[in-house]
Amino acid sequence: MTNLVLTRMGGRPCAIPCEHVVEIIPRVQLDHVPDAPPEVLGVINLRGRVVPVIDLRGRLSQVKPLPFYQHLVIVRAAKGKLLGLAVDEVRDVVTVQEDAIEKPGDIAGVRSPGVVRIEDDLVLVLGPEDAYHGSS
């Protein structure tokens, strides 16, 4: 069994395995990073740690994302680094069978550990290293 945090990114249903989620925080002020890739919205100071904030909404949806997000899902990435994923909405926490997660590989330039059907939605499952190639 796997627990997933269900979110929406760019209108698309996505999930992040709970084992990678450190915390979920509301929208906060970001500090700009000069010459950063477009996916990097900026950085935040989270209790003394500098955490990059990544916005995958443009890659995951054909709908142009709003310039703001509602929540940050803080995940533990490679080598204990923290990474903030900007999401439009945090919907729920669900439990699914591990074999219910199908392995599609690379979708829209975002590597994914899988896709799972939850109710009528096909939900893209994002792992921290898989979500953003530059995070590790």
**Stated pTM of the model:** 0.81
Q: What is the pLDDT along the chain (136 residues), one digit of tens a residue?
A: 999 999 988 788 999 999 999 999 988 889 999 999 888 889 999 999 999 998 877 666 555 555 567 788 888 877 788 999 988 899 999 999 988 988 766 555 556 678 899 989 889 898 776 555 544 4
Domain boundaries of the chain, sorted by first residue: 2-135
Task: Specify the pLDDT at position 133.
Answer: 52
- Written as six digits, the tokens of 131 are 């979500």
CATH number of the domain located at residue range(s) 2-135 in this protein: 2.40.50.180
Q: Is 98 helix (H, G, I), strand (E, B) or coil?
A: helix
Going from the C-alpha of 66 to that of each of 32, 39, 97, the distances in angstroms are: 18, 13, 33
Task: Specify the pLDDT at position 114.
Answer: 85
Task: Specify the pLDDT at position 51.
Answer: 93
Give strand pairing partners of 5. Answer: 16, 93
Q: Is 116 helix (H, G, I), strand (E, B) or coil?
A: strand
Task: Specify the pLDDT at position 39.
Answer: 83
Cβ atoms < 10 Å from Cβ of 100? 13
